[in-house]
Structures are given as structure tokens and as C-alpha cells.
Copies of this chain bind each other. A is one copy, B any other.
Amino acid sequence: MPPDVFLLPPFFDYGATLCWAVSGALVGARRGYDLVGVFILALVSSTGGGLLRDGLFLQEGTPLLLRTPEYLSLVGFATACVMIFGKRLTSLPGFQRIVVLFDALGLGAYAVVGMNLSLVKGLNIPAAMLVGMVNATGGGILRSAISGREPHLFRPGKFEAVAALVGCGVYMTLRQGLATSPTVAAWITIAVVFVVRMGSVVYGVSTSAVNSFKDEWGQDRPLP
């Protein structure tokens, strides 16, 4: 392993994957999906960003999702938990808080993983930032797209993609500008994304719509 590769500690990686899988499974259950639908939503929510990163962008052979059985096992476990415990799961003391915290940690962590893999591969800075964003937010977008819904991420709301974007900027500045080691840069970035995300949630700061257009231009032009 080259010295500039940053690996998430397994408990962190698996914790975030499990948390995102449970979130996805709960969304599927609330929509009235059956076993298969709930599993697919859990799978895409937790591993979709990495699948897009590996399968569509970096293209270095079989995606990580398929190389080890851990991720699929975690998704299966999350699906089983939601099927068996259902609503009782969400009323566990501290459950929602844990999900929100792990979610905010995972956001920065997967952005870092995507950027780090891209830099190792020799991609330029904007490309590495794009891959980081895809890794962090692609699962949520794919989950909406695959079920025929508009991703909430596109609309004004609490900082989420914006938090990831700030983190991408911080990581690139640390790595390329200040030559910080991958591990130090990673943890600083994860902390910054966590603070921005949780600050937005706690203090209710939101993004705003870019503009309101009233003209009809572009309304129904199916541009390629």
C-alpha cells in the first residue's frame, strides 16, 4: 500500500455503512416497500456513492462493494433489523441522535475516501473533489433517482452537500497546498464537515434557491 493512502478505520467505515443502511431501509419501510425494495434502498443508500465512484468514475476493476462480503452483510443485517424491530427501532433511546451523528461523520469520511483514491490515481484537483462529492452524496442521489423521486439534496435545505464541498476544499488545501499527511488531513476534514453539518442542523441554517425565474425559457427543452 503506498504511503499516501488513507484508510478509514474499519469500525468507522462499517459503523457509517450500517447507519446509512438502516436509514435507507427505514425510508423504504415507511414507503410501504416489501423485503426486496427495503433491501435495495438500504443497499443504495449505504453503498451507492462508493459504487458510482468505483463503477462509473475511477474504473479500477470490480467495485469495493463486491470485493469483500462485509458491506453486503451489513446491508442484510440492517434490512433484517428494520424488518424484525420496525418502529421499535426508531424509538430506542438515542437512536435518532446516533443516526444523525454517524451520518454527519460519514459525510466527511466518504468525501475524504473518494478524494484520496482519486489523488492516488493521479487525478487533477477538480476531478478529485468531484469524486469526493460523489462518494459522499451519490448514495442519497441514487436512492432518489432509482425510486423516481427528485433528490432532496437538489433543493434548499440544511447544509449537507455544502458541508461536503467545504470539506473537499479543506482537504485539498491541506494536501496540495500545505502538504499535510493524508491521515492528518483526513481527520481535520472529517471534523470540519461534521461541525458544518451539525451547526447547520442545530442552528437551522439552510441554503437558498439560486434564483427564481418567471420566464418560460428552458421549461420543457429536452436538451441532450
Q: Does A14 contact B (CB under 8 A)?
A: no
Q: Does A5 contact B (CB under 8 A)?
A: no
Chain B residue at smallest Cβ distance from A213: B30
- Enumerate A170-210 residues with CB–CB distance to B below 8 Å: 207-210
Q: Are B29 and A161 closer than 8 Å at their CB atoms?
A: no
Q: Are B27 and A218 closer than 8 Å at their CB atoms?
A: yes
The residue that A138 contacts in the complex, of B24, B37, B219, B224, with Cβ under 8 A, is: B224
Q: Are A127 and B69 closer than 8 Å at their CB atoms?
A: yes
| Nearest Cβ on chain B to A169's Cβ, whole angstroms | 13
Q: How far is the CA of A160 from the CA of B209 in the complex (A)?
A: 30
- Enumerate A7-43 residues with CB–CB distance to B below 8 Å: 20, 23-24, 26-38, 40-41
Q: Does A110 contact B (CB under 8 A)?
A: yes
- Chain B CB count within 10 A is highest, among A26, A58, A164, A212, for A26
- Enumerate A141-169 residues with CB–CB distance to B below 8 Å: 141, 143-157, 160-162, 164-165
Interface string of A75-99 (1 = CB under 8 A from B): 0100000110011001100001000
Q: How large is the interface on A (under 10, 10 to 19, 20 to 34, 35 or more residues)?
A: 35 or more
Q: List 18 A-B contacts (CB under 8 A).
A: A20-B223, A28-B210, A30-B218, A31-B154, A32-B155, A32-B212, A35-B162, A36-B207, A37-B153, A57-B66, A66-B127, A66-B130, A67-B124, A103-B224, A137-B224, A140-B222, A140-B224, A147-B151
Which residues of A come within 8 Å of B, CB atoms? 20, 23-24, 26-38, 40-41, 45, 49, 51, 55-59, 61-63, 65-69, 72-73, 76, 82-83, 86-87, 90-91, 96, 103, 106-107, 110, 118, 121, 123-127, 130-131, 136-141, 143-157, 160-162, 164-165, 207-215, 217-224
Given contacts A27-B223, A90-B215, 18 further A-B contacts (CB under 8 A): A27-B218, A30-B219, A33-B156, A33-B210, A34-B207, A35-B207, A36-B153, A36-B154, A36-B162, A36-B165, A37-B151, A45-B223, A56-B56, A59-B61, A86-B210, A106-B224, A140-B224, A164-B224
